[in-house]
Amino acid sequence: MSVKGTKIPVELRLPLAGVTPAPTEQAGQELFPTGNFRFFRPVYRDKMPPCNHACPTGENIQRYLDYVKHERFFDGYMTIIDDNPMPAVTGRVCYHPCEGACNRKDHDEPIGIRNVERFLGDFGLELADNPIKDTVPPVNGKRVAVVGSGPGGLACAYHARRLGYRVTVFEALSKAGGMMRGGIPHWHLPEDVLNKEVAKIEDLGDIEMKYNTRVGEDVSWDDLKDFDAAFISVGQDVGRKLPIEGNDLRGVVGGLEFLREAGFNRPVKVGKKVLVIGGGNTASDTARSALRLGAEEVTIVSLEAPDELLIVPEDLEQAKEEGVQFKTNTACARILGNDGVVNGAVLCKARLEKDEGGNVAPQMEEGTEYEVDCDTVMISIGQVQHLDWVPEGLRDERGLIRTDPYGRIDGNIFAGGDIIRGPAMVVDALGDGKRAANNIDKVLNGLELVPESPVEVMPYERLNTAYFRHAPRIEAPVLPPKERVTDQKMEVTLAYDQEQAVGESDRCMSCGVCNGCDNCYIVCPDVSVVRDQRENGHYSIRTKYCKGCLVCVQECPTGCLEKVPELDFDEEGDVTRMETAFSVFDGSHATQSVPIAKMHEEAIAEYDASRRAKVDAGKGEK
């Protein structure tokens, strides 16, 4: 396509002419249709939206919000499940790092991405058929073992199956779900939603679930080596003990153990006055579950100051609404008992000191001790896991499994979830499972594991915010506190209806990604932007006619159009002079290089074909 040198005709190269033909002259217009105006060129180049970048599973959030905006819910659902097998779960329990990264927070309020995800997840659960089944290829004969059926294990099983592997999942307990079942209370994540999501994954076929099989007892480390690859995602399900006097009295229970009993629908009893020790999300969930199970007074005792609490802000607010009391900057010195049963505790003022390594140490203040009455003490100060069955060199002193940057521990054995990163989010484990499945696929195909290439994240400053009117975030409805504390199974946060989901998706600014808004098409003064469909289509720049005025770049609301210096358009080993330069394809939605002449030819060919068909039909009749 490129021609070295200008196409100046021979007769114009006479030395006495001395000048290049002006654009106004006939000869000049033969050289370049509108003269040589352009020194920057608009190019469609999609950037990474911050929400997508922040999501550990890499959900294509901009794309599914765009689908929901146009009420194409099925397409939106299929977009999510490419990355995340259980949107109905994460739509309820995710701590939404995407909303924290959303550029809209600098404009007014971040978009309720989690609520839209939940809407789509529920939409998927209500489908009569399981549409994921159509995306699954036949098995390729290789087998992958997954240890643990929490979010990490299920995600790895799901993605590995979608890549064609036969999967065996080992689960120590009688039901799948891991921490989603045994750590997240029913009022947060209803049991039937989790069951349906798990059933959809099992439904893919060639995923064998082995319940009541604990690795380390029923299956050994060496047994895992019979498989082509393995993924370890056992989580951390053993609550840490509080090393104080009285921690073995009756009435002292682990918060996590309490949540697990409740989660598996076993009968649990709590006293009237409950003390929850800990300052994280587990403490909050424990306290709120205790309220629902009949406790009259629940107090969270935390070393952290009020602004240091590691509880998600909305959960903290809901807990306070429900009547959970907080004693911050307070430590429990010892637990008092009578006849081996708890009847009180000694608290004192304290603060949390952090050293530079990130280790925390409680500092108690002498002489500030006081007694409180209580009949149950719940300990939620972190989790550990017993890893005796893992070979010695692969564990570290914190009780975690050591991995390389790709999540690999040894050969074809990968790990993910809480067991490599400590207590973290469900979505982190889902991301680890997806990464492990992709890496297992690479390793088994003999490919090298390489670091991901860096991406360009779209900053707020590069959006043209004049196009985005301020609109308040649509909050999901929440049950009133008095009603919701009465039942352990009553969901606190309710779902968007269709109108709310569409309205909230409409607030998306589509950061850095072309969403077919037609703005460039409208503003171009030289009619140099063409589109191939009436709406939401692909655009291309007619580089023969574009003058490089950059109005389209200035006015692009999403910032997916960029200006690129003409001098950057070179090809290897050959120079492309301006009048013969053509653009390269870049970006997923807008194409740059569709030659306009070709589009005409196609249209003419189509017209001819239809005419011919008519004529042929006419002949047939005669």
Partner 1 sequence: MIYHELSVWTRGIIMDKEARDVANCIANAAAKVGFHSQMISDYVDDPDRTNCLVRKYARFSDEPIEFKFIYENPHPNWVVLVEETLVKAVNFFRGTADGSGVLVVNSAREPEYLLKFLPEYMLQKLSKLVAVDAVSLAEQQGSSPWMFVRDLGQLAYDRMSTEGANERSAVGIGIAAPLLGALTAATGVLELDVVADTVEERDAFYRGAENHRVLDYAETHKHMQEAAGSPVAGTPA
- What residues line the site for partner 1 (CB under 8 A)? 4-6, 8, 13, 15-20, 22-24, 35-39, 547-549, 551, 554, 565-567, 570, 575-579
Strand pairing category for 207-210 and 40-44: unpaired
Pick between residue 29 and residue 536 the one whose CB is nearest to partner 1. 29
C-alpha–C-alpha distance, residues 470 and 382, integer Å: 41
Full 3-state SS string of 114-182: HHHHHHHHHHHHCCCCCHHHHHCCCCCCCEEEEECCCHHHHHHHHHHHHCCCEEEEECCCCCCCCHHHH
Pick between residue 13 and residue 469 the one whose CB is nearest to partner 1. 13
Helix axes 426-444, 151-162, angle to 10 degrees: 40
Pick between residue 39 and residue 211 the one whose CB is nearest to partner 1. 39
Pick between residue 24 and residue 533 the one whose CB is nearest to partner 1. 24
**Least Cβ distance, residue 193 to partner 1 (angstroms):** 50
Pick between residue 33 and residue 391 the one whose CB is nearest to partner 1. 33
Which run of H or E residues covers position 562?
A: strand 561-565
Pick between residue 32 and residue 158 the one whose CB is nearest to partner 1. 32
**Least Cβ distance, residue 8 to partner 1 (angstroms):** 6
Strand partners, 541: 529
Pick between residue 441 and residue 566 the one whose CB is nearest to partner 1. 566
What DSSP string describes 2-37?
--SS----GGGG-TTT-SPPPTTSHHHHHH-TT-S-
CB 105 within 8 A of CB 459: no
Pick between residue 257 and residue 579 the one whose CB is nearest to partner 1. 579
Pick between residue 222 and residue 572 the one whose CB is nearest to partner 1. 572
**Least Cβ distance, residue 104 to partner 1 (angstroms):** 24
**Least Cβ distance, residue 21 to partner 1 (angstroms):** 9
**Least Cβ distance, residue 470 to partner 1 (angstroms):** 23
Residue 355, token pair as written in the block? 């050293």
Pick between residue 518 and residue 579 the one whose CB is nearest to partner 1. 579
**Least Cβ distance, residue 561 to partner 1 (angstroms):** 14
Residue 487, token pair as written in the block? 């039942």
**Least Cβ distance, residue 34 to partner 1 (angstroms):** 9
**Least Cβ distance, residue 24 to partner 1 (angstroms):** 6
C-alpha–C-alpha distance, residues 480 and 51, integer Å: 30
Pick from 564, 542, 562, 540: which is nearest to 553 by CA? 562
C-alpha–C-alpha distance, residues 309 and 73, integer Å: 37
CB 117 within 8 A of CB 90: yes
Give me the helices (H) in 445-579, please. 481-484, 498-505, 519-523, 551-555
C-alpha–C-alpha distance, residues 458 and 50, integer Å: 6
CB 289 within 8 A of CB 266: no
Quote the DSSP letter at residue 308.
Answer: G
Token pair 């492309």 in the structure block, residue? 576
Pick from 339, 296, 289, 288: which is nearest to 318 by CA? 288
**Least Cβ distance, residue 518 to partner 1 (angstroms):** 20
Pick between residue 290 and residue 561 the one whose CB is nearest to partner 1. 561
**Least Cβ distance, residue 459 to partner 1 (angstroms):** 17
Pick between residue 12 and residue 336 the one whose CB is nearest to partner 1. 12
Residue 448 CB coordination number (10 Å): 6
**Least Cβ distance, residue 583 to partner 1 (angstroms):** 15
Pick between residue 523 and residue 530 the one whose CB is nearest to partner 1. 523
CB 379 within 8 A of CB 254: yes
Please report, for residues 17, 284, 300, 391, 519, the alpha-carbon distance to residue 380 in angstroms, rounded to integers and kept in the order given.
Answer: 89, 9, 10, 29, 54
Pick between residue 41 and residue 114 the one whose CB is nearest to partner 1. 41
Pick from 440, 441, 442: which is nearest to 409 by CA? 440
The contacts of residue 150 (CB under 8 Å, 6+ apart) are 177, 178, 179, 180, 233, 235, 417, 418, 429
C-alpha–C-alpha distance, residues 236 and 387, integer Å: 10
**Least Cβ distance, residue 462 to partner 1 (angstroms):** 13
**Least Cβ distance, residue 578 to partner 1 (angstroms):** 5
Pick between residue 37 and residue 264 the one whose CB is nearest to partner 1. 37
Pick from 458, 576, 603, 114: which is nearest to 314 by CA? 114
Burial of 496 (0-12, 13-18, 19+ CB in 10 A): buried
State the Cα angle at 239 between 312 and 198, rounded to 5°: 70
Pick between residue 293 and residue 564 the one whose CB is nearest to partner 1. 564
**Least Cβ distance, residue 591 to partner 1 (angstroms):** 24
**Least Cβ distance, residue 178 to partner 1 (angstroms):** 53
Q: Contacts from 214-217 at CB under 8 Å and sequence distance 24+?
A: 214/170, 214/172, 215/147, 215/170, 215/172, 215/389, 216/386, 216/388, 216/389
**Least Cβ distance, residue 558 to partner 1 (angstroms):** 18
In a 13 Å sphere around the CA of 268, the CA atoms on its Cβ side amount to 27
Return left, alpha or beta for 8; rule: phi > 0 is left, psi -120 to 50 is alpha, else beta.
beta
